[in-house]
């Protein structure tokens, strides 16, 4: 169920796309699909994961499929820490091509997640409260291979 606090972006004509780089490794890809499953009930709009390369679906695949269903507004959230060549050149070119192909749609490209200070606050919390304690506990366990 979508958030009760949905803004005016909540509409059957709106779709959020989490855009990641891509990998051939299924475990890497699963992290994004699992994350989306966790997030979707909290989001005001439907969402998908797309990949730049090495995996599918691509940004083009998602936009083409959703545009056929009548979606007119797309919000692309780059799952990147900072803006490099992909965010400065490649993705804007893809967006221009898609908007030219589908004259009735608009695609907004957001900032990379690393630009959001709350992301870094979350990361610090996870390091101190989950990852370090877990790694410290693992380091204290006797190595069963040495026995």
3 assigned to some structural domain? no
Residue 5 predicted with pLDDT over 60: no
Q: If 0-12 CB within 10 Å is exposed, 13-18 middle and 19+ buried, where does residue 19 land? A: buried
Reported pTM: 0.82
7 assigned to some structural domain? no
118 assigned to some structural domain? yes
* pLDDT bucket at 141, cuts 50 / 70 / 90: confident
**Residue 135 structural domain:** 114-141
Which tokens go with 109?
């490209």
Question: Considering its fold, how many domains does the chain have in total?
Answer: 2
Q: If 0-12 CB within 10 Å is exposed, 13-18 middle and 19+ buried, where does residue 124 land? A: exposed
Q: Across-strand partners of 48?
A: 17
Asked if residues 74 and 15 have their Cβ atoms less than 8 Å apart, the reply is yes
């Amino acid at each position: 169920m979508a958030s009760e606090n949905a803004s005016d972006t909540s509409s059957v004509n709106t779709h959020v796309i989490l855009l990641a780089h891509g990998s051939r490794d299924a475990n890497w890809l699963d992290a994004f699909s699992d994350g989306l499953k966790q997030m979707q009930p909290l989001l005001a709009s439907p969402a998908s994961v797309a990949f730049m390369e090495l995996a599918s679906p691509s940004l083009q695949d998602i936009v083409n499929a959703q545009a056929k269903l009548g979606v007119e507004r797309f919000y692309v959230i780059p799952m990147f820490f900072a803006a490099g060549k992909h965010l400065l050149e490649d993705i804007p070119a893809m967006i221009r091509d898609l908007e030219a192909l589908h004259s009735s749609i608009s695609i907004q490209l957001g900032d990379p997640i690393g630009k959001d200070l709350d992301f870094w606050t979350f990361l610090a919390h996870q390091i101190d409260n989950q990852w370090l304690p877990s790694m410290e506990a693992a380091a204290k366990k006797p190595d069963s291979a040495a026995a």
